[in-house]
Structure 1
Amino acid sequence: MGIEGDLREEFDRWEAAQTATFTVLPYGLLAVSVGITVLQLPAHLPVVLGLSAAAALWLLWFHTLHPHVVRSGYYAGLLAMAASLAALAPWYGLFAFVGYPQAFQYLTGRWRYAGAAATAVISAMAFLGGIAKIGAENLWWVWLGVSVLSIALAGAVFSFVEMAYQRNELQKQALAELREVNLKLEAALAENAGLHARLLVQARAAGVLDERQRMAREIHDTLAQGLAGILAQLQAAEQTAAEPEVLGRHVANATNLARESLVEARRTVHSVEPSVLADARLPEAIGEVTRNWSAANRVDAVLTTTGDARPMHTDVEVALLRTAQEALSNVAKHAQAKRVGLTLSYMPDLVTLDVRDDGVGFEPNAKRANGSTNGGFGLSGMRQRVQRLAGRLDIESEPGRGTAVSATVPAIPAGGGR
């Protein structure tokens, strides 16, 4: 339940005790006043007892049984009977004291202070021995002085009690608001728990999908490219069977491609970086890929590096290396180019790889057989790689004017977070 619940229980106990005291107090004071007065046997005892019975019935009907029916009228009647009883028998000044708590209970605003003033005047009369003694001994000025002093004291006490009451009301309101906030917080926590569970499921599913896409890209960028290269070399060898020297070169290229593909396949299974990056940095790795591709395809290809070449995060280097490999593979398969230029640019916040060829080009926005305008899996894989690093892949091409592929990724330094 917490602190809020403990405070609420404390307030409830205090209010229950206060209500019980205010309910019983008038009857107790009336009984004490009747008992003392009966022992003194005053001259007007029958009238006093009759008024006492009327006061008891008045309290029972309005104060106990119907406390919300009449407020100001009930209080006025109660004070009238208390004044009459105190005038006849001074000990009823004890009963007149109920005017103070009941003024606070049944009256509001300035009427509370008016009720307290009237009660003070009645109490002063009882203190001086009743109306008969005041008249006999000519104590009217004394009664007035005592009344004024009692009214001042009652007003000060009422002011203090009213401030305490207002403070209690504010505390009750604050507790109610705190309870409402706690309920909303509990509801929010329950909702967050459910949301967290759903996010875990979605994150798990996203992780599985991301891993599948990663493996698909790796297979395409290594095994698929390698097999395509081997197939191309074997087909060329088949066409040049009559030329032993050319035949040997194609077979040797196919053998090297098969060996490299096998190494890449093993490394992909173990989820490590490409073998060409294992012992070299990105410019050297792309340079080696470019030279091997140029030798295998007999197309002039040159890499140019600009800017401050520095070690980058593994994911950055792998993404750019795979982009270079895929772009060169596309040139070999589709471009019929004679020259290819690669530019690796290091900038303060970005690293860019541009691959340009002078081949036949194509229409980048043309729809493929599957309805896509994003190219085949190779282009899609390149785009996914760079976008996964919050990068961008741009492709410019026109039929007969060659193709330019540009991959831009953040310059995340080696050892830096993503």
Structure 2
Amino acid sequence: MVTGRDNAAVNRSGKAPSWVHQNHASAGWGTWPDRIEVAAPYVLLTLATVFASLDGEPASTYWLAALAAAWVALTDTLGRARWPGGRLLPLVSFGGILVIASVLMTHDILFLVFMIIGFFHALRLEPRWLRLAGLVITAFLLHGLANGGLPKALTTMPHVFLTVVLVQSLTIWGGSVMADKIADQNNARKQALAELNAAMAENAGLHRQLLVQAREAGVLDERQRLSREIHDTLAQGFAGIITQLQAADQADPAVWRRHVDAALALARENLTEARRSVHALAPEALDAAQLPDALRGVARRWSDRTGVPIEFTTTGNSRPVHPEIEATLLRITQEALSNVAKHAGAGRVGLTLSYMEEQVTLDVRDDGSGFDTSMLPPDGGMGGGFGIAGMRHRAQRLAGTLTVEAEPGGGTAVSVNLPAIPVGSAL
């Protein structure tokens, strides 16, 4: 027998919703609920007819039973298969079953077994108010005819009769509404699950895309790092070597050796820095010295090569900071001094390293020719090279800032400000 819950959960198409079949399928029933629902009217009608035949019913009773079977076959069994989505056919089938079952009950009370089918067919009616009306009519006829007819039922304790009709109808109707709600919730959960699966698939695709983009960004970042390292080390070193060799070519024999030795020292230093850049290592100057000492050495070597005096000053409480911070300050110092040697024509240079509570600042000042800062390209570069743009990019990578102040004939000041991140902290 089909459970009341499954019959109550029929949808507007007149067929049990998919969750009913899936629940039965998961329990091993397969399509048995549908088959039992189709077979139930014939089984109950046959049982009622057999029991009634024991009382010696007239032939008209059997003809009515045959008519009932034909009506169910045409309007329900075949009708549901041929027009599964209609609303009118279930109502017609329901009305015919009530009429035939009522007539059969007047012949023999045992046919109330067949009248019970009216409850199941009423649950297929839509909208819900019509479903409730069908249940009330079925209960009214079933209990009225079973108690000696409708007139007797309405005159003998009518309040009990009506209470039974209403309670039974409302109980079945309420169960059907609850079943519909549960079915809607199950369908909503299935839809949400399908949307979740689709979102997860989309997220997986986005994740793969992000991995590709991160890989490409990593490649680009590494290229930019190598470009900056080549510019700050190899390019500057080669420029210094060429300058020393040119000076040696034009120098007297007494100073020729000094320029050649300076060129050889630059070449060795350049080779070492090139190898360290390829392996993403910190500058060699920071290996065996703290940042102030490393900057002092850079300033001294630069002054020896260029002949321009440089004054290095440290302010604040000197302390180790993150290696990336120190390496960035060293590279910016090298680039700024290289720009002074190339463009400024300065007579003196000042280099100041300042330690503050949360920041570390580097200032490079010269008394050279200066320039008009409004002539800088939008990216901050000079002459299409890396220059100021490269220094600014290095600072911004570490949440720092770089400013350039200059005026024609008034010298140039480059100032970089970086967070004083302690050693061992994550960037």
Change (3 A) 1:11 1:401: farther
| Residue 207 (structure 1) aligns with | 218
| Residue 288 (structure 1) aligns with | 297
The counterpart of 2:100, out of the listed 68, 81, 88, is: 81
In structure 1, how many angstroms separate the alpha carbons of the residues matched to 2:133 and 2:251?
Answer: 123
In structure 2, how many angstroms separate the alpha carbons of the residues matched to 1:385 and 1:80?
Answer: 92
| Residue 64 (structure 1) aligns with | 77
Tell me by how many angstroms 1:149 deviates. 5.2
* Two-structure CA RMSD over aligned residues (Å): 3.4
Is 1:53 the counterpart of 2:72 in the alignment? no
| Residue 112 (structure 1) aligns with | 131
Cα displacement string for residues 78-104 of structure 1 (whole angstroms, at most 9, x for unaligned residues): 212211211122221222222222222
Matches within 5 A, 1:16-415: 16-42=31-57, 45-67=58-80, 68=86, 69-106=88-125, 108-128=127-147, 141-142=155-156, 144=158, 147-148=161-162, 150-196=164-210, 199-200=211-212, 202-241=213-252, 244=254, 246-247=255-256, 249-268=258-277, 270-366=279-375, 375-415=384-424
Gaps of 5+ in 1: none
Q: Does the 8 A contact of 1:365 with 1:373 survive in 2?
A: no
Residue type at the aligned position of 2:206:
N
Tell me by how many angstroms 1:299 deviates. 1.9
Q: Does the 8 A contact of 2:154 with 2:161 survive in 1?
A: no
Q: Does the 8 A contact of 2:21 with 2:31 survive in 1?
A: no
Gaps of 5+ in 2: 1-17, 81-85
In structure 2, how many angstroms separate the alpha carbons of the residues matched to 1:214 and 1:63?
Answer: 79
Residue type at the aligned position of 1:361:
G
Residue type at the aligned position of 1:417:
A
In structure 1, how many angstroms separate the alpha carbons of the residues matched to 2:183 and 2:409?
Answer: 86
Higher deviation after alignment, 160-169 or 21-30: 160-169
Higher deviation after alignment, 159-168 or 327-336: 159-168
Q: Does the 8 A contact of 2:382 with 2:388 survive in 1?
A: no
In structure 2, how many angstroms separate the alpha carbons of the residues matched to 1:85 and 1:52?
Answer: 7
Percent identity of paired positions between Structure 1 and Structure 2:
41
Aligned residues: 400
In structure 1, how many angstroms separate the alpha carbons of the residues matched to 2:153 and 2:308?
Answer: 131
Residue type at the aligned position of 1:106:
L
Q: Does the 8 A contact of 2:21 with 2:30 survive in 1?
A: no
Higher deviation after alignment, 158-167 or 141-150: 141-150
In structure 2, how many angstroms separate the alpha carbons of the residues matched to 1:255 and 1:117?
Answer: 109
Tell me by how many angstroms 1:413 deviates. 2.1
Is 1:416 the counterpart of 2:425 in the alignment? yes
Residue type at the aligned position of 2:419:
P
Three-state SS of the structure 2 residue aligned to 1:412 is coil
Q: Does the 8 A contact of 2:153 with 2:161 survive in 1?
A: no
